[in-house]
Amino acid sequence: MIAEDIRGAFASNPAQHSAPTGRRGAGIARAEGTPSGVPASGSASAARNGQPSARHLAQMRGAAFKAGLSAEFADLMAETGVSAAQAEAVASGLAEFQKVSAPFVQGEQLDHAALMSIAKRAAMAGLALPETDAAAITKEIARVAANEAMALMASNEPPIRPCAIGIGQEAPSRADAMADGLLARMQSGHVPTHGREFANMRLDDLARLSAGSSFLRGQRHAVMWGGAMGADDFKTALAIASNKVLLAAYEAAESQIKKASREVSAPDFRPINTVRVSGGVELAKVLENGEFGQGQITDAGEAFVLETYGKIFTLTRQAIVNDDLRAFEQSSRLFGQGAALTEARIFAGLLEANGGAGPAMSDGKTLFHADHGNLAETGAALSIGSLSLARTAMRRQKGLAGEAIRVDPALLIVPPELETQAERLVAEISAASADDVNPFQQKLTVLADANLTDPAAWYIAALPGRPDALQHAYLDGASGPQIFTRDGFETDASEFKVRLDFGAGFVDHRAWYKNPGA
């Protein structure tokens, strides 16, 4: 995969260099350190004895320093026999090679010894060109260095990645691998697998791996590794990585009330109608040769709809060049938390609608109503006694035809102010006598939700679907928020749109009970 990623490395376009690409000279086949001929000026003494003169070494170090190279590269140029006339062109080509190979050295695909060996052979290739054609020398050195690096890394790359691919599984794409590397920097504790080679790369390095590098730093830096990669790989990798960060933050901040809701499917934005069927469930005795009686079916329905929520955040060109991945990671995290908060407010809003009576139901009454048998006659603080009355009221719920149904209280939903007291009431204790036994120990799960604004009111609910009551849905079953991306035109930025298609509603009152508290 590495070889594929860097194939065509340093491919220049004619607008970047005034001279055409030079021939690949015979210098590559020569022994290292043996130039094709005696340089025209400033290096004659270097060629005679195989050792550079002090003056020649100073000339090489001056050119290397100007190009941002270390003294080691200057010594390499001197030993290779680079003339003073060629020094700046050779140094420029080596500097470009050092710059774009840095991520691969950091990622341990290239070690330092290999880097210097490749640089030396590339410099010798540049010497095969006329020393008056500086642009062609620079370009040839960059081209040869890229080809040498590509061949070396391809030969060292294992035929199968350490993360084995199972039967029937597709190999991860380049964008997936880049995203895996990005996540190593965005999520604490994430250990990259199929994207280890990208884990230490800067954002601008990753961007140069895709075909859109001119967007980042202009045509001067359009010479790049990875010409075979698709133009959308970088953008897609950002979307994949940001979506994983967003979903992790979303799941960590999910509403507690959501645990009392059952998820249903929603293929579109039309009202989601739920029909409840009851009546005729009790079997009648059939006499010998008698007829079976006809059961009467009674139905009732409630409906809720999906709504769309969303926002846009951007990753600017400056942030990419500055490798400001933290700002991008924080944006993804915050919008994930924001999506969870949106859902939490919707759930809490349902419970506290109409002054705390809940939403209006199809029978014209609010969710919590005396006629529904799910509202305490008198508000009371959380206690064994008030919980017992609540449980009894839920056990006494009737079906649509007046038949007895089974409702098992399982969840105790409270605001943060009542969380401690709620946990005490369901805690397991060692009773000294029968009177001290806690009848609710480990019978109820406490769900404390900060979006509940009434500090005194508390609720009991059955598990989702036992029977149905609170439901929620996402469009086409795409649970949670989704990320979409596009390149900005009026601004130098990539835009990321977070969209949440979500709806929630009560379809029955029988599985919930409210006490206004005291």
Q: What is the CATH number of the domain that holds 409?
A: 3.90.1690.10
CA 436 from centre of chain: 51
Whole-structure pTM value: 0.63
Q: Which two tokens stand for residue 260?
A: 């009392």
Give the pLDDT of the chain (518 residues) as one tens digit per residue: 444 444 344 443 333 333 333 333 333 333 333 333 333 333 433 443 456 688 888 888 888 888 888 888 888 888 888 888 888 888 988 888 888 777 777 767 778 888 888 888 888 888 888 777 788 888 888 888 877 776 676 555 444 333 433 444 455 678 888 889 899 888 888 888 888 888 888 887 787 766 443 333 333 333 333 333 334 688 888 888 999 999 999 999 999 999 999 999 899 999 988 776 665 567 778 888 888 877 666 666 788 999 999 998 888 888 888 888 888 888 899 999 999 999 999 999 999 999 999 999 999 999 999 999 999 999 999 999 999 999 999 999 998 878 888 999 999 999 999 999 999 998 866 555 556 667 787 789 999 999 999 999 999 999 998 899 999 999 987 888 988 887 766 667 778 899 999 999 999 999 999 999 99
Would you call 410 helix, strand, or coil by DSSP? strand
Domain final residue pick, 99, 129, 159 = 159
Q: How many domains does the chain have?
A: 2
Answer yes or no: is 359 within a domain. yes
Answer yes or no: is 361 within a domain. yes
Q: Cβ-count burial of 7 within 10 angstroms (0-12 exposed, 13-18 middle, 19+ buried)?
A: middle
Domain final residue pick, 106, 125, 159 = 159
Answer yes or no: is 436 within a domain. yes
User: Do 279 and 379 belong together in one domain?
Assistant: yes
Q: Which two tokens stand for residue 514?
A: 């409210």
CA distance 391 to 17: 82
CA distance 80 to 46: 9
What is the residue range of 91's domain? 2-159
Nearest to 483 by CA among 281, 120, 236: 236
The pairing of strands 272-278 and 298-304 is antiparallel
DSSP 259: G
Domain final residue pick, 131, 159, 187 = 159
Answer yes or no: is 404 within a domain. yes
Q: Buried b vs exposed e over 178-213: b needs ≥16 C-beta within 10 Å?
A: bbbbbbbbbbeebebebbbbbbbbbbbbbbbbbbbb
Answer yes or no: is 123 within a domain. yes
